[in-house]
Amino acid sequence: MQSYGFVGTGELTAAIVEGLSSSGNPPQIHLSPRNHRIARDLAARFPNVRVAGSNQEVLDRTTTVVIAVRPQIARDVLGELTFRPGHVVVSAVAALTLAELRAHVSPAERVVRSIPLPTASRRASCTALHPDDPAARALFESVGEVVVPRDETALAAFSAATATFAAHLDQLATIAAWMAAHGVRPDDANAYVAHVFGELGHTLRRHDGTLDELAAKHMTPGGINEQFRTALREAGVPDHIGHGLDDVLARLTSQ
Ligand SMILES: NC(=O)c1ccc[n+]([C@@H]2O[C@H](COP(=O)([O-])OP(=O)(O)OC[C@H]3O[C@@H](n4cnc5c(N)ncnc54)[C@H](OP(=O)(O)O)[C@@H]3O)[C@@H](O)[C@H]2O)c1
């Protein structure tokens, strides 16, 4: 039976384990003991999940191991572990480059960086990974889609893009707050914005062409969508987004 190990049992691991465990043929999963509460809860919910006694035990029981601890402690955690040449090490730690990872997990030869999304819990992640590896691909295809950027620079751009979620939601909250300030009941405003943009999300997923083409489909020439988009562009919003992403990328690649 396929098996996976996880070092670091936090929010991300919980999401991936939920997704893997709710598939038709769930793999055997070995979790590191921390966080104790999350690990215990996952093992109680899913019969294919076991909590190991230590991080090393996770490595000793599995071949494909996901590293999902916080960046600040990742080097120390890896430094205490003994890897085998046959291990496939799949890191979700944004701050660790392939060169650093390889140095820490030697003699393991197959090392992959990945950016799974929390939507792995409902097998709807789109996981960017690099380099391509059949074991890492099989793992993440079990919890959604996989995209393989051509190099680490491109992978970092995917990582930076994940920094935009809160700002996007903040823009929706701003629209709802503006509606409420103009006489709409706050609950109605929230529900309306959630509905409209949730449906727009479905349209986006089904759309085959470019994002610019989709935007054009939502604009009548001279209409109010065009008016609003032009106002934001003239206020420099696209430039602010680009500069903000540049700063996130610089932070991600300087750690
Ligand atoms: N969350 C996401 O959506 C996401 C997406 C992509 C990548 N990532 C990356 O994935 C990693 C994990 O993120 P997360 O959101 O899951 O963080 P998290 O919820 O803080 O989980 C980290 C886990 O590591 C555990 N831990 C601490 N020290 C440990 C040790 N010595 N050995 C083993 N485990 C230890 C922590 O346990 P305690 O609670 O007991 O300290 C905690 O459960 C990070 O590097 C993050 O950047 C996260």
Q: Which of 69, 90, 126, 143 should be mutated for ligand 1, with most atoms under 8 A from CB?
A: 69
Tell which residue, 34, 26, 40, 25, has the closest CA to residue 6: 34
Give the long-range contacts of residues 185-188, CB within 8 A, separation 24 or more: none
pLDDT at residue 255 above 80? no
Residue 127 beta carbon below 6 angstroms from any ligand 1 atom: no
pLDDT tens, residue by residue, 4-50: 999 999 999 999 999 999 988 899 999 999 999 999 999 999 999 99
Across all residues in the chain, what is the average pLDDT? Answer: 96
Start-end ranges of CATH 3.40.50.720 in the chain? Answer: 3-148
Name, in order, each residue with C-beta under 8 angstroms of 240's C-beta and a sequence gap of 6 or more: none
Q: What is the CATH T-level fold of the domain 3-148, as seen in this structure?
A: Rossmann fold (3.40.50)
pTM listed for this prediction: 0.93
- From ligand 1's centre to the CA of 34, what distance in Å? 9
Residue 71 beta carbon below 6 angstroms from any ligand 1 atom: yes
Rounded CA gap, 89 and 77, in Å?
14
- From ligand 1's centre to the CA of 145, what distance in Å? 22
- From ligand 1's centre to the CA of 67, what distance in Å? 9
Rounded CA gap, 19 and 141, in Å?
11
Strands (E), the chain: 3-7, 28-31, 49-51, 64-67, 88-91, 110-115, 125-130, 144-147
Tell which residue, 158, 186, 171, 183, has the closest CA to residue 252: 158
The closest residue, in CA terms, to atom 38 on ligand 1 is 35
End-to-end CA distance of the chain: 38
Residue 94 beta carbon below 6 angstroms from any ligand 1 atom: yes
Residue 89 beta carbon below 6 angstroms from any ligand 1 atom: no
Give the long-range contacts of residues 168-173, CB within 8 A, separation 24 or more: 172/197
Q: What six digits make up the tokens of 7?
A: 């070092």
Per-residue pLDDT, averaged over 182-189, amounts to 98
Give residue 49's pLDDT.
98
Give residue 23's pLDDT.
84
Answer positive or negative: Cα dihedral of 203, 208, 214, 217: negative
Ligand 1: nearest atom to the Cα of 116: 6
Residue 2 beta carbon below 6 angstroms from any ligand 1 atom: no
pLDDT tens, residue by residue, 93-135: 988 999 999 999 999 999 999 999 999 999 999 999 999 999 9
Rounded CA gap, 123 and 104, in Å?
30
The closest residue, in CA terms, to atom 2 on ligand 1 is 12
Residue 9 beta carbon below 6 angstroms from any ligand 1 atom: yes
pLDDT tens, residue by residue, 152-183: 999 999 999 999 999 999 999 999 999 999 99
* Residue whose token pair is 């590191």: 32
- Respond yes or no on whether the N-terminal peptide bond of residue 35 is cis (omega within 30° of 0): yes
